[in-house]
């Protein structure tokens, strides 16, 4: 009778825990996989919008002012559309593909704070910042446009708050850190699985110990 109870308990233990683990992890994994899938789909739809290379946009800006280098360029004569294309091209150069899409979402949310920080610079025109209909930054939203313009201004050194291209390297590295999200989740899942196996081994060892001890007492 005791053996039957123990066997039933072990069967329930091994069947229930994997099921609960799967139910607990499924929404999290589905959420992460859904974000990746959405980013890939968005990247395919928007690939045509990132065709202009960084060199092409820079050449266009220099040509429009009839100068040979950015040191000779007048920031006040650079159009917002040119700043926008330059910022977008720089993002695509540093992190092509779906990484660019993740960064655009982040930059769309940071643009409001960024515009306030450069409000007193006086060297570059800031676009009017509006909230998109969806409440989030999208490819055609004003917030994302503002983000691209700000990056273009900073790439050319047209902002006093944070000058030069060094800002871009640190910012791109910080944004690129979000790519490690999937790896951290995989590590968490592996740690949980190993812990679950060890707990089950310990339970089995304890059951066998007390079972044998009870049998020897009789």
Torsional sign, CA 177, 138, 130, 133:
negative
**HSE toward the beta carbon, residue 106, CA cutoff 13 A:** 16
pLDDT band at 86 (very low <50, low <70, confident <90, very high): very high
Where do the domains of the chain lie? 2-27+183-217, 49-181
How many residues does the structure list for the chain? Answer: 218
Closest CA to 96 of 146, 49, 64, 32: 49
Taking the model in full, what pTM does it have?
0.44
Distance between CA 152 and CA 90 in Å, rounded? Answer: 8
Torsional sign, CA 188, 194, 196, 199:
negative
| pLDDT tens figures, 102-157 | 777 766 666 555 555 555 454 444 444 443 333 444 445 677 788 788 889 988 98
Closest CA to 49 of 148, 170, 150, 165: 148
| pLDDT tens figures, 166-209 | 444 444 554 444 444 444 555 566 677 777 777 777 777 778 77
Closest CA to 176 of 81, 95, 55, 64: 95
Angle at 149 between CA 145 and CA 153, to 5 degrees: 170
Whether residue 46 has pLDDT greater than 60: no
């Amino acid at each position: 009778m005791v053996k039957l109870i123990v066997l039933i308990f072990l069967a329930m233990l091994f069947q229930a825990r994997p099921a609960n683990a799967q139910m607990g992890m499924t929404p999290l994994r589905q959420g992460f996989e859904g974000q990746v899938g959405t980013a890939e789909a968005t990247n395919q739809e928007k690939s045509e919008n990132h065709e202009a290379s960084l060199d092409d946009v820079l050449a266009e800006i220099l040509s429009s002012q009839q100068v040979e280098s950015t040191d000779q360029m007048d920031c006040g004569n650079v159009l917002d559309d040119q700043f926008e294309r330059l910022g977008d091209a720089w993002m695509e150069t540093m992190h092509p593909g779906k990484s660019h899409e993740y960064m655009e979402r982040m930059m769309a949310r940071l643009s409001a704070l960024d515009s306030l920080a450069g409000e007193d610079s006086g060297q570059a025109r800031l676009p009017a910042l509006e909230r998109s209909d969806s409440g989030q930054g999208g490819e055609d939203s004003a917030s994302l446009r503002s983000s691209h313009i700000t990056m273009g201004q900073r790439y050319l050194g047209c902002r006093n708050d944070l000058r030069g291209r060094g800002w871009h390297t640190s910012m791109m590295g910080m944004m690129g850190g979000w790519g490690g999200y999937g790896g951290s989740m995989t590590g968490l899942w592996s740690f949980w699985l190993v812990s679950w196996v060890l707990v089950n081994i310990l339970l089995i060892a304890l059951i066998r110990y007390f079972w044998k001890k009870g049998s020897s007492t009789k």
